[in-house]
Amino acid sequence: MVVLSSPIKQLKEQLIIAPFLRSIRKPHLALSALHQKHGDLVLASFFTKKMLCICHPDHVEEIYIQEAKGLLNRDFLYEAKKSFFADSLFNSKAETWVKQRRLMQPLFTREAISQWQNIFINEAEITREKLKATTATEINLSCEIKKLVQRIIIKTLLGRSADTIPNNEALIQTIDVISQCLLPQLVTQIISNGKLMWFMPIKKWQYQKAVLKLADFISQEIALKREHLGHDLISQMMQATDSKSGYTMPQELLQDEMVNLFFASQDTTINTLAWFFYLLGKNQAVHNKVTAEIMKFRDDALTTANLEKLVYTKAALNETLRLYPPSGGITSLAVEDITVGGYNIKKGTTILLSLFVTHRHSALWECPNEFYPEHFINPQLTTELYKYAFYPFGGGLHNCLGRHFAELEMMIVIVTLLREFTFKTDDTIKEAASITLKPDRDVILSIKPLGKNAN
């Protein structure tokens, strides 16, 4: 009798404790060290938990394909995420997610997003004018960007100026607290079903308080909107109807989606813009090239078509997202046996896409740890070879709904400020522990008006 050896290989398990614990505080560094030691595919075990850590773009693609077939899903973190994400797109289970995503998708296409363009421009101009009026030679860029991004989201989402909201700065603080506390909340859930969170009572309390505060604020805004519908995003979501099924958004899901849009749209873009200006401030040669390109088109209106001419500026923004993707990792669970890289991975294994590690993979990028926008000018090296060498907005079914919103908003902010100023810093800033990859302190930059004759 011929015994056929199975073509499916078994991946060796690595018993890993220290990196798992370290990942509560610095997940991106823990994962980098893990992949450096054990390779592109690591099957890590921590007591009874098994986690497959993935950083090669081909393996990422295999995961997304199998997720689309229903072999993986995101439901396993439902309870851990429920305290904040509730039943929004970030957490809803299959049937609800499909209905909600179909309903919201048309409001986030490139065309639909262009309706917010004037808001992005007006709010960026308010910040520009404020900075023009300052006599200071140094600014707290993080602080200015937080205020600007919040003004933008309040105007688009709620249809009113941030100036009409009493104590709106406290809301910025709320976003910061949630962002910092969500990471231990989720990691402790993955590795200990939440038990380790009992050792962080203050964090737990701060988190609960901030979540309640944000939920209260949004529910009051929804109540106001029910009396006076407008053209803002809440009103559009209230009126959206699925043309095939007639489905409209239930009240409680509207609350969940609004809370999450309010959070996701700020934390991600604030961090990306802070890193972007920090990196320009540190790399004057790149800064000069970006400024030269922007000044070449200085009289162009800030339309999507005109912004596409700014190839190098967009490359610098992508390079920022490569080095500091706000979401450094994406998790799911194999609900059936799956195959990755020819290996059989058992049902019940947690899958972690180490996006941060892929983005700095030495086999993929010419200068993995440097700020080198040319990576996106000669993309045949990486992004054309591998679909998922660069995927800051995720991929597959759950790709970022707000991608076009974020890209247009960030480009408008960047161009508006760089038409007027140059920035510089000698500071060295590292990544902080949080649900998104943020600078470990405020970005302080010296600021100079751009000479009128700059080109």
- Contact residues toward ligand HEM (CB under 6 A) are 89-90, 101, 261, 264-265, 268-269, 272, 326-327, 330, 392-394, 398, 400-402, 405-406
Q: How far is the CB of 401 from ligand HEM (least distance, A)?
A: 4
Q: How far is the CB of 405 from ligand HEM (least distance, A)?
A: 4
Answer for the pair 414, 273: CB distance below 8 angstroms, yes or no: yes
Q: How far is the CB of 339 from ligand HEM (least distance, A)?
A: 21
Q: How far is the CB of 298 from ligand HEM (least distance, A)?
A: 25
Residue number with CB closer to ligand HEM (254 or 330): 330
Provide the H-helix boundaries in 23-167. Answer: 27-38, 57-68, 78-85, 94-104, 110-113, 117-133, 141-153
Q: Which residue is nearest to ligand HEM (CB)?
A: 402
Residue number with CB closer to ligand HEM (17 or 98): 98
Residue number with CB closer to ligand HEM (55 or 264): 264
Q: How far is the CB of 406 from ligand HEM (least distance, A)?
A: 4
Residue number with CB closer to ligand HEM (127 or 269): 269
DSSP string, 272-340: HHHHHHHHHHH-HHHHHHHHHHHHHTTTS---HHHHTT-HHHHHHHHHHHHHS-SS--EEEEESS-EEE
Residue number with CB closer to ligand HEM (269 or 425): 269
Q: How far is the CB of 47 from ligand HEM (least distance, A)?
A: 25
Residue number with CB closer to ligand HEM (142 or 268): 268
User: Which among 146, 159, 203 has a CA at the least distance from the CA of 178?
Assistant: 203
Q: Are strands 338-340 and 343-345 parallel, antiparallel or unpaired?
A: antiparallel
Instruction: In whole angstroms, give the CA distance from residue 325 to residue 272.
Output: 8
Answer for the pair 193, 47: CB distance below 8 angstroms, yes or no: no
Q: CA torsion angle for 37, 39, 44, 50 (degrees, to 10)?
A: 170
